[in-house]
Amino acid sequence: MIKAALVAIIGFHALIYALQNVANIEAAHGSLVYVMSGADNTAYPDTLFFTSDNPALAWVALAIVLAGEFATAFFGLKGGWELFAARKGDTDDFHAAKRTAAIAAGFALLTWFGLFMTIGSAFFQMWQTQVGDGSLKGAFMFAMASVVTVLFVYHTPDN
C-alpha cells in the first residue's frame, strides 16, 4: 500500500505542477523567456552556447516541459493504481506492476533533471537569478524524491 501511495504521489505532484503551469501560462512563458535570455546572469555572464529571448522558442520549451509534467503525472497515477491493484496478487504480479512506476520516475528525471537541471541550469545558467534558482531547487527536490521513491518501490527486502 505504501509503495502504491508513493508512486501515486509522484503522479499527483507532477499533475499539480502541470496544472499550476497551465493556470499561470503567461507567467510560466515569461519565466522561460527570462531564463533563456540570460538576463541578469552576472556571476557567469558569458556562455559558450547561446541565449535567446525569442518568445516562440520559449513556447516550444514550455510545451516540452508541460508534456514531461503531464507524462509524469499520467504514469505516476497509473503506476500507483497498478501497484494498488496488484497488492493482493503474487510477488511476480506485484513486481510486474512496478514497470509503470519506473516509467513515471523516468519522465520525472527527463523533465526535472534533464530539462531544468541540465538545460536550464547548466546550459542557460538559470541558477544565477532568483526566478531560475527557485525553479531549479524545486526541480532538484522533485527529481530526487522521484528517484528515491522508485528505488524504494523496486527494493525487495529479504525475508
DSSP string, 18-85: HHHHHHTHHHHHHHHHHHHHTTT--SS---SS-----HHHHHHHHHHHHHHHHHHHHHHHHHHHHHHH
**39 in a domain, yes or no?**
yes
* Greatest CA separation for the chain: 57
Per-residue confidence band for 156, with pLDDT thresholds at 50, 70 and 90:
confident
The three-point CA angle 146-118-62 to 5° equals 80
Query: What is the DSSP code (8-state) at residue 126?
Result: G
Give the per-residue pLDDT at 52: 95
| pTM attached to this predicted model | 0.91
User: Hey, what's the cell of 31?
Assistant: 519565466
Q: For residue 125, is it left (φ>0), alpha (ψ between -120 and 50) or beta? A: left
Give the per-residue pLDDT at 159: 46
pLDDT over 90 percentage in the chain: 84
d(CA 40, CA 23): 26
- For 11-55, how does the pLDDT look when each residue is reduced to its tens digit (9 = 90+)? 999 999 999 999 999 999 999 999 999 999 999 999 989 999 999
**159 in a domain, yes or no?**
no
Q: Into how many domains does the chain fold?
A: 1
- For 68-84, how does the pLDDT look when each residue is reduced to its tens digit (9 = 90+)? 999 999 999 999 999 99
Neighbours of 40 (CB within 10 A): 14
Neighbours of 48 (CB within 10 A): 5
**76 in a domain, yes or no?**
yes
**131 in a domain, yes or no?**
yes
Domain holding 44, by residue range, is: 2-154
Mean pLDDT of the chain: 93
Mean pLDDT of 93-105: 93
**72 in a domain, yes or no?**
yes
